[in-house]
Amino acid sequence: MSEKKKKTTIILFSGDYDKAMAAYIIANGAAAYDHEVTIFHTFWGLNALRKEEQVPVKKGFLEKMFAKMMPRGADKMGLSRMNFAGVGPKLIKHVIKKHNAMPLPQLIEMAKEQEVKLVACQMTVDLLGLKQEELIDGIEFAGVAAYLADASEGNVNLFI
């Protein structure tokens, strides 16, 4: 009799670099322990999935304003504490490099390689005026029902 694969689900709500990094470290660790892992990105957590380059898409005024206010890409996200007008992220990235740890963009790539299911909340994508072309490749788009289906079978469910 084969043992059923354990499931880990993470809701990434925060748009903070350090919190997103924690979510991806946990996700990669769980995947390494052979868990089936889902990260459901909603609201500011969607910034981790934004492409760094500007993608020409048609938007209304409010959508354009949201796009300007939100960081473009995982590497541009601020810290939850000690942001120091943008100096904090540079300091933490220096410390990460010094200790040979992986920065957030690499953790996201590793998660994709380990087949972690990266999901963008479709409702929030629509609310914030994001377009699928503005988000990185290899992700899924789904709603709360899809997340709840995964979470109901989850052994570990986290909200970050």
Prediction pTM value: 0.92
CA atoms within 13 A on the CB side of 159: 3
List pLDDT tens digits, range 82-108: 878 778 888 888 899 899 999 999 999
Cα–Cα distance between 74 and 55 in angstroms, integer?
16
Cα–Cα distance between 66 and 34 in angstroms, integer?
38
Q: In the chain, what are the domains? A: 7-159 (3.40.1260.10)
How much is the pLDDT for 91? Answer: 87
List pLDDT tens digits, range 2-41: 578 999 999 999 999 999 999 999 999 999 999 999 999 9
- Give the amino acid at 139: I
- Please enumerate in sequence order all residues whose Cβ is within 8 A of that of 16, keeping only pairs 6 or more positions apart, or say none: 44, 77, 78, 79, 80
